[in-house]
Structure 1
Amino acid sequence: MKTLSYILLLARAAVSQNVIDLGNKNWTLTGPNITVPGSAPSQAHLDLFAAGVIGDPLYGENDTELLWVQRSNWTYSTVISNLGQTEDFSTWLIFDGLDTFASIEFCNQFIGNTDNQFRQWYFDVTDIARSCKDEPKLSLNFGSATKIVKEIAENGDPLLNSADGAPTEEFCCKEYMRKEQSDFGWDWAPKIAPAGIWQPARVVQLDSASPVYVRNALIDIFRKGQMNNIPPDQSQPWIFNVSLDYLGTLPRESSLHVFLDDARGKFILDRPLENTYQSTNTIEGSITIDPKLVDLWWPIGLGSQPLYKATIKILHGEKTISEINRRVGFRTVVLNLLPVTEEQQAQGIAPGSNFHFEVNGHEFYAKGSNLVPPDVFWPRVNETKIRNLFEAVVVGNQNMLRVWSSGAYLPSWIYDIADEMGIFLWSEFEFSDAEYPANSSYLAQYEEEATYQVRRVNHHPSLALWVGGNELEQIMLSYFFDPESPGTLLREYEHIFLELLIGAVYSNTKSIGYIPSSTYNGFLSLNFSSTMPQLPRYHNTSGPGYIYADTDTYNYDASQAFNLSSYPIGRFATEFGFISMPSVYSWKQAIPYDQLFMSSDMVIHHNRHYPFGGPANATDRELSVLGLEEMTAAVQNCAWCWTTQVFQADYYTSELAFYRRGSGMPQRNLGSLYWQLEDLWAAPTWSSIEPDGRWKVLFYRAKDIFQPVIGHSFYNSTTGDLEAWVMSDLWSPVSGTAKLSWMDWSGKPLSGSNKPISKTIPFTVGAINSTRVFKTNLLRDYIDLDFSNSLLRVDISGDGVTPNESQKKTYEHISFFHPESLGKAKIQDPKIRVSHFAGAHNFRVEAKGGVAAWVWLDHPLGVQGYFSDNGFWLARGKQECPIYSQERLDKRRMGGGCSS
């Protein structure tokens, strides 16, 4: 029990610290013959747009028309009028992010240069502030990143890949900058290359009463004895480790104290930290916490997300000289890459190594997608946008997002939202699809950046993993690997990603694992005392029957889209996909009305997938001509956009189901993250959510296939083999029935000899597993079957228990299979009827005349909302009741319906 005297003692907090938020200052942006009001955080494009100097940078061809903006220098300036002037004050400038190449002056004196968007910059300006006779003016001059890196590349390493990017409409040389790589263009993004004060900034003044300011904080919560990349002993107590980075002068014999309260404010503990250690500008300490005092944090669908407020105080004697608050959770998460055990092999799992996540000692199926930057301009990414996006993820039955590298590190408040919602964030250092310079100056930048980011976000329970970068090992093994004679590029890769970055993780945290690349064949051994703790496997495998890695595969041959043998077999699917067009509603916001046709200059301009300026794949070429010549331009565009979205959704459904089936096969696939979650501008891309938040057909179908218990049909058109499977990601067996109903397109049951008959089949599927419930051969067993007029509906109903719950519930799922493509099928008019019931946002959809494929309900431009289901199939006489929401998504409310 806390005594009153001790409460009063700790209440004596310092009050003299002067922190000035530079976001509240009046800024001016100055460029070539232009002066407009500025702001912070912001970027030059945004302030020019707000002032009416330029149009929307993402509209039409403005990304090209406005190249002059990124090729110019821009200066942000403001006057800091409320500085303390006493000799006792020390004064610091702190910038949490500057994009990217900036020269800083204060009181007309040079302060320093910056060249890294991804680190915190801080400057001691005490002497300048004390001697400043003029008004205390702060100015930051930002240079053109495209010009600067091109000049650096001209004198750079000739081995590095610095192609000019012309075929994919990208700026060159991005590997030479520590700036968001997709700012220079990507195959789903424009080339904008913004500049400015993109993160919060402040002035901090310290005095003898408040001599330190905590600029960054590491909180590491792990099980006693836990080591990176190894599943910990769940019976051990929690270790709560704190390490604070500070500015100023910390008095000797200072100490640390932690207060822990739950989300309701209930007291959990207050304790002085033990083993306190003070080094240059860092103080750290730790305590052991009884597991009975706290509840475990779980990802969504596997349990609750209890969070705790941790207050850390730096004390000197009886006085609080600084304090921070962080919201934390208690969980362990490991990407298990250890060898497959004999016990696992006895269960039918192929030998090799594992590649799956475990949370609190339980393996689970990772369901999700890849998160790209939500906007070209990070300063306008706000809480509403991210909450809407993440709430869609939760409603979409996803529990993990891969935060793709070559965007930017997510700000802490986005991790906060993920903590609340139970979304694991696979996080990557910002390196992608390139070879990077490895001279001493770059290595120092990488280390500073990585150390800052690891320490900044480590307290978030949603943090699942650190990864060195995107597809790096795959590139090395494909183009630069020679085991007999390792080259310079391989050695530089190893130095950056297998020594430096892993060191930044392992030296700061024990709670989070690391892998050097999103595509990774794993390690042969793990040695924490080595400069290369993970000895990479590379091609050192034990034979064709062994499985080691995750998969990252794209196949743009539309004729192979539903060929199961074209899908890769691996432990985990990190990337895969196919592009589609955004809806006509997104196009209307992005290009003029007279450009709303499929081959318009501006539609082609927004296509950044190679080959630049042409259809991105065989499917688009086919869809761009078939039947569209008979339509008006506007109808053509709608039909084209819609058809590409249906194809994309059908393809992803097939591949996602394939990976989920793999949970019960020798590959033991335990994760699938499709590419990509969302868009940042209107363009043909792989996204499932459009720039304004509108769900594509894909997102609805991914939501369906990511349900805990599903049924799906798998067909080999070459052999005629047809199988129906049930898949479950629950942690205990599910038992129920699979009802197989054969019908024609009119909705009538198939009848007669040599026709498949409807049947009901009992099943039991194991924990995180799959089981086959039906198998036949349509070519052999049903030679008279008219494929063009045959359909199979599979209804699954099974009883199971949600993880960390005790109550059984019934899981239901419906899927359809058609052996002939829809283009050749004898589709009939289903005579769809739509009506309201029980309120304006509840709709009843009925098929009166036949089976309805890909039923789609739409909402007009300007209306933000979602249906509980969409893009679904209906049998004749059946009905679906989608609920439409214009508010923040509530999974309980959105789960309803009257499907039958």
Structure 2
Amino acid sequence: MRWFKAVSALAVAASADAQLVTKLSGSGWTLRNENGSISVPASVPSQQYLDLYKAHVIGDPLYGLNNTDQAWVPIQNWTYTSHSLTGLQVTNLLSSTYLVFQGLDTFAHITLCNETVGNTNNMFRQYIFDVSSILRSCGHTTPQLSINFGSAVNITHRLSGEPDADPDANFADSCNPNSSEFSCKPYARKQQNDFGWDWSPALVPAGPWRDIYAVQMIPGQVHVDNALVDIYRKGQQNNLSPDQNQPWVFNASLDFVGSLPRVSVGMSLSLTDSNGRHVLTQSLGGISKNNGTITGSTSISSSSVKLWWPNGMGAQTLYTAKITLTGLLGIPITSITRTVGFRTIVLNMSPVSSSELAQGVAPGAHWQFEVNGQPFYAKGANFIPPDAFWPRVNSTQVGQLFDLAQASHMNMFRVWSSGAYLPDWMYDMADEKGILLWSEFQFSDAEYPNATSYLNNYEAEAYYNTRRINHHPSLALWAGGNELEAIILFYFFSADAPGTLQKKYEQIFLEVLPKCVYANTKSISYIPSSTYHGWLKLDFDSIMPQVPRYLNTTGPDAIYANTDAYNYDANSMFDITSYPIGRFAAEFGFISMPSSLTWSTAAPPDQMYYPSQTVINHNRHTPFGASGDQDQLSLAGIQDMTAAVQKHLPVPAKKDAGANFTAWCWTTQVVHADDMVHQIAFYRRGSGMKEKQMGSLYWMFNDLWAAPTWSAVESTNRQKVLYYAARDIFSPVIVNAYYNTSGGTSDLQVWVTSDLFTSISATVSYSWVNYAGEAITVGTQSSGSSSVDVGAIHSTHVTDLHVPDLNSALSGSSVDAKDALLQLSVSAKSGGTTYTHSAVFHPATLAEAKLRDPGLALTKPKAPTGNSSKYTFTVSAPDAVAAWVWLDVATTAVTGYWSDNGFWLKKGESRSVVFTVWEDWSKGKWVAGVTAISIWDNTVP
């Protein structure tokens, strides 16, 4: 036989079956626009903006005003053409050649040898085409692969006017011939924030965003293009808590192209641990073959393997599973490997039990995750695409984000839709770091078409990604999409006479998508929407496996749903009575500016002021119901954070314009962080209250460009104040003061919250001081301590400071409310580990407070010895209380993160903090430029 020659040095042959897999990605491609006026070198994976930028046809799309100035790019068609694939023109007459496209964004027409290979219309699917006959017809012509990408902007508008489009949906989505060019996005199976979001530019990229390769085989050989591994307890069913005493079931299902031998085919499993030690080898039984898929399963004793646990709960034990197909005499046909973990994970939405009711839990249903049979408190954030262009996302960048999450007591990311399904290597990182990934199908805040062609497309997308991702132990959940049920309930719901849009929602998210999940896995829960009131019943044999609860409750006190809430009112943002009561907080947030250093990577020097035209352009947050042109809407959104700063913090007014911009950026981050701390503490306290609240995922963790957003980490991976504040309030054991003004009681209460799996005994201390650090008496109290017991994943009310009217009490004590604060601390032991935490409550805003200069002193380290990447700094406040102490690395020549930042210091207190370096281009010179500031510095011109 004659094989086609290797197209590149990356061609590799599989050892078991000698199939030839040739990677077609890399350089040597050409990008052209539709009229041929632009032709530049290109590569794969890529998108048109990246190749145009690299060829200097355009500037950085994320810099300055380029995102709007380059609006001509997405409305053109773009064609990627390969170099001459000389090796593809000679083939064995019996061989088969397949082209495998891991991701094409989005509307693509593919040709080979000037013959049509196929068309695609889904960014999230893998496409495989048999091109054997095309190659044979090429003759002596050198094969060349060409992929034409149509303008998603133009195509979605055209699709919205076709006969199967729904006028009601178009109206709901503001999609019409005269509408914004980005409003018809539901007609594209494409990352929806590509069309713009309130934290994302509207760029609408196109191109081969994932790898392309060719496979050649002869009869009797197969190439596995996708594989499902499902590990669950015997008898387990989706959405229900399994019996942890049952053995494991290991189910493997391989999707392939090619042809298996007609003789009986066997399947076997070989399991090794992370050190390469052999754990077990077993044959798989119950083998079935169907339409390019072969499936088998086996049972594994619980004693043979160790459990995988999320971050902070146990070890992340991983195994390598090798699944081999064998033919006659046990000769291997092909094999694949997958990294797996043994765990159960379920979203428990079962009714509250009678015993729980007797303990004071409100009636209704749970909304809690359970891992390996153990309920846990979910701590984390929402994760968005880490770049506007997926082809340049890399493991270093994302690895840093996961390091930050792991270091901040997080155990979960909600992978928001509609970005994109994460690649396997990102799930690998989550597996290793113990970060659970609440995953979603890519539908968000819109009414999606339900014509048959669309439903078939959704099903293929969901089927492929469900099977691809399922082997990862970090996979926590499949949700149908973002906020979908909330939209239905708010705008379109009818219990008695459901309208067209409600029926569409039910068909797609309660029938099609759960079928795709339940047909492939028993180990994962599914919900139709990130906001969900739960189910009335489960019937896995029904076309609608979950009967949704909607607004069907058992009484006014019953609690069912999770919460998704935002408050931008500076007057009420710290009022705990304004926070929603629910079982789980899936979204909540506020906006702030990125640092001036991050702005310097995205804005011209003359735009480094607040709010410059670049700041206005990059801000996409607008208040609900606001009107005006784009700049006016942006300014209204910016006013939300401006008003919050003016209400709650000293306003920067520095003489130097650059210093003032830096101070403004930081100050917006402080009020942002303070808001999130109050909300997270409130939600965490709910674990011991009637709502039995079991999760806080703030919006949002990361950024994809420099802009005012809700993020904790900027697009450069530089951390905002929120990152450190959230890390602190996510500590396993916390103490906090809650000032409740409802009902005229104005109670100031102290609570301790623990998310540990065991009960603890804790000691809480508190003291009233002024900003000079001097002890004061409020009412009859100046200080005190209490010992308390806190149950597992619970909260305990420590003390009520009996301040019916705080301001009056302060006034009656001859103490100015503007010069008083309550300092709290807690210490607890569990399992040989000591847990400590501190907090501060101030009755007056820091804008009103009588701050003093704390006289911050910073001791800087010498260069660390050896290969250490850790530098220890010590900061102290010798003269007064220091609020929101911030250590700033004032250069882009080093990247890394602090062990602590954005904290309060008592008078006379010092704290050592460690900076861990990721990359240092300054050879240590950055240390000299580190500064320490506090909110007092805002009062200095």
Q: 1:167 to 1:546 in 2, by over 3 A?
A: farther
Distance 1:815 1:616 in 2: 31
Residue 763 of structure 1 corresponds to which residue in structure 2? Answer: 788
Residue 5 of structure 2 corresponds to which residue in structure 1? Answer: none
Contact (CA 8 Å) 1:711, 1:727: kept in 2 or not?
yes
Question: Displacement of 1:628 after TM fit?
Answer: 5.4
Distance 2:352 2:638 in 1: 39
Distance 1:598 1:170 in 2: 29
Mapped pair 1:237 → 2:247: yes
Residue 147 of structure 1 corresponds to which residue in structure 2? Answer: 154
Contact (CA 8 Å) 2:157, 2:176: kept in 1 or not?
no
Residue 275 of structure 2 corresponds to which residue in structure 1? Answer: 264
Residue 928 of structure 2 corresponds to which residue in structure 1? Answer: none
Mapped pair 1:136 → 2:143: yes
Q: 1:624 to 1:704 in 2, by over 3 A?
A: closer
SS at match of 2:490: helix
Distance 1:747 1:576 in 2: 34
1:357-393 alpha-carbon deviations (Å, 9 max, x no partner): 0000000000000000000100001111111000000
Contact (CA 8 Å) 1:169, 1:185: kept in 2 or not?
no
SS at match of 1:477: helix
Contact (CA 8 Å) 1:165, 1:171: kept in 2 or not?
no
Residue 378 of structure 2 corresponds to which residue in structure 1? Answer: 366
Question: Displacement of 1:586 after TM fit?
Answer: 1.2
* Letter paired with 1:798: A
Mapped pair 1:342 → 2:316: no
Mean alpha-carbon deviation: is it higher for 24-33 or for 278-287? Answer: 24-33
Mapped pair 1:300 → 2:305: no
Q: How does 1:415-454 map to 2 (within 5 A)?
A: 415-454=427-466
Mapped pair 1:112 → 2:118: yes
Mapped pair 1:288 → 2:293: no
Distance 1:844 1:151 in 2: 62
Question: Displacement of 1:747 after TM fit?
Answer: 0.4
Distance 2:863 2:180 in 1: 49
Residue 758 of structure 2 corresponds to which residue in structure 1? Answer: 732
SS at match of 1:656: helix
1:68-113 alpha-carbon deviations (Å, 9 max, x no partner): 1111111111122223511121000110110001100011101111
**Equivalent in 668, 671, 676 of residue 695 of structure 2:** 671
Distance 1:24 1:71 in 2: 26
SS at match of 2:159: helix
Residue 923 of structure 2 corresponds to which residue in structure 1? Answer: none
Q: 1:349 to 1:618 in 2, by over 3 A?
A: farther
Contact (CA 8 Å) 2:645, 2:668: kept in 1 or not?
no
Distance 1:24 1:579 in 2: 39
Question: Displacement of 1:278 after TM fit?
Answer: 0.7
Question: Displacement of 1:609 after TM fit?
Answer: 1.0
Question: Displacement of 1:296 after TM fit?
Answer: 0.3
Residue 24 of structure 2 corresponds to which residue in structure 1? Answer: 22
SS at match of 1:614: helix
Question: Displacement of 1:810 after TM fit?
Answer: 0.8
% of aligned pairs identical? 50
Contact (CA 8 Å) 2:485, 2:531: kept in 1 or not?
yes
SS at match of 1:615: helix
**Equivalent in 664, 685, 689 of residue 640 of structure 1:** 664
Distance 1:169 1:849 in 2: 57
Contact (CA 8 Å) 1:12, 1:319: kept in 2 or not?
no
Question: Displacement of 1:322 after TM fit?
Answer: 1.4
1:426-457 alpha-carbon deviations (Å, 9 max, x no partner): 00000000110001000000000000000000
Q: How does 1:394-433 map to 2 (within 5 A)?
A: 394-433=406-445
Residue 95 of structure 2 corresponds to which residue in structure 1? Answer: 89
Residue 40 of structure 2 corresponds to which residue in structure 1? Answer: 36
* Letter paired with 1:869: D
Distance 2:250 2:578 in 1: 47
Question: Displacement of 1:839 after TM fit?
Answer: 5.4
Residue 8 of structure 1 corresponds to which residue in structure 2? Answer: none
Distance 1:888 1:713 in 2: 39
Question: Displacement of 1:131 after TM fit?
Answer: 2.4
* Letter paired with 1:303: G
Distance 1:13 1:739 in 2: 66
Residue 6 of structure 2 corresponds to which residue in structure 1? Answer: none
Q: How does 1:769-784 map to 2 (within 5 A)?
A: 769-778=794-803, 779=805, 782=810, 783-784=812-813
* Letter paired with 1:135: T
Contact (CA 8 Å) 1:365, 1:671: kept in 2 or not?
yes
Q: 1:720 to 1:112 in 2, by over 3 A?
A: same
Distance 2:711 2:758 in 1: 33
Mapped pair 1:566 → 2:582: no
Q: 1:144 to 1:170 in 2, by over 3 A?
A: closer
Distance 2:279 2:26 in 1: 37
Question: Displacement of 1:719 after TM fit?
Answer: 3.8
Contact (CA 8 Å) 2:274, 2:320: kept in 1 or not?
yes
Distance 1:395 1:167 in 2: 49
Question: Displacement of 1:261 after TM fit?
Answer: 0.6
1:147-195 alpha-carbon deviations (Å, 9 max, x no partner): 1101111222101133259999871200111000000000000001001
Residue 286 of structure 2 corresponds to which residue in structure 1? Answer: 275
Mean alpha-carbon deviation: is it higher for 864-873 or for 831-840? Answer: 831-840
RMSD: 1.9
Question: Displacement of 1:629 after TM fit?
Answer: 6.3
**Equivalent in 829, 836, 845 of residue 799 of structure 1:** 829
SS at match of 2:22: strand
Mapped pair 1:247 → 2:268: no
Distance 1:303 1:627 in 2: 45
Question: Displacement of 1:345 after TM fit?
Answer: 1.2
Q: How does 1:203-242 map to 2 (within 5 A)?
A: 203-208=214-219, 211-242=221-252
Q: 1:627 to 1:490 in 2, by over 3 A?
A: closer
1:506-534 alpha-carbon deviations (Å, 9 max, x no partner): 01000001000000000001111111010
Q: How does 1:704-719 map to 2 (within 5 A)?
A: 704-717=728-741, 719=745
**Equivalent in 44, 47, 66 of residue 62 of structure 1:** 66
**Equivalent in 908, 912, 919 of residue 881 of structure 1:** 912
Distance 1:750 1:308 in 2: 59
Question: Displacement of 1:633 after TM fit?
Answer: 3.0
SS at match of 2:168: coil
Contact (CA 8 Å) 2:98, 2:130: kept in 1 or not?
yes
1:106-156 alpha-carbon deviations (Å, 9 max, x no partner): 111011111100111110111111221210110001111101101111222
Contact (CA 8 Å) 1:171, 1:185: kept in 2 or not?
yes
Q: 1:720 to 1:162 in 2, by over 3 A?
A: closer
Q: 1:660 to 1:214 in 2, by over 3 A?
A: same
Contact (CA 8 Å) 1:730, 1:768: kept in 2 or not?
yes
Question: Displacement of 1:257 after TM fit?
Answer: 1.3
SS at match of 2:728: helix
**Equivalent in 864, 874, 895 of residue 895 of structure 2:** 864
Contact (CA 8 Å) 2:26, 2:45: kept in 1 or not?
no
Question: Displacement of 1:540 after TM fit?
Answer: 0.5
Contact (CA 8 Å) 2:644, 2:671: kept in 1 or not?
no
Residue 474 of structure 2 corresponds to which residue in structure 1? Answer: 462
* Letter paired with 1:735: S
Residue 748 of structure 1 corresponds to which residue in structure 2? Answer: 774
* Letter paired with 2:100: I
* Letter paired with 1:747: G
Contact (CA 8 Å) 2:895, 2:919: kept in 1 or not?
no
Q: How does 1:524-673 map to 2 (within 5 A)?
A: 524-610=536-622, 611=626, 612-616=633-637, 619-622=640-643, 631-673=655-697
Question: Displacement of 1:599 after TM fit?
Answer: 2.5
Distance 1:107 1:302 in 2: 56
Question: Displacement of 1:776 after TM fit?
Answer: 1.9
Mapped pair 1:80 → 2:96: no
* Letter paired with 1:855: V
TM-score with structure 1 setting the length: 0.94
Residue 805 of structure 1 corresponds to which residue in structure 2? Answer: none
Contact (CA 8 Å) 1:103, 1:142: kept in 2 or not?
yes
Question: Displacement of 1:635 after TM fit?
Answer: 2.9
1:391-439 alpha-carbon deviations (Å, 9 max, x no partner): 0000011100000001000001100110011000000000000110001
Question: Displacement of 1:777 after TM fit?
Answer: 3.3
Mean alpha-carbon deviation: is it higher for 833-842 or for 691-700? Answer: 833-842
Question: Displacement of 1:867 after TM fit?
Answer: 1.0
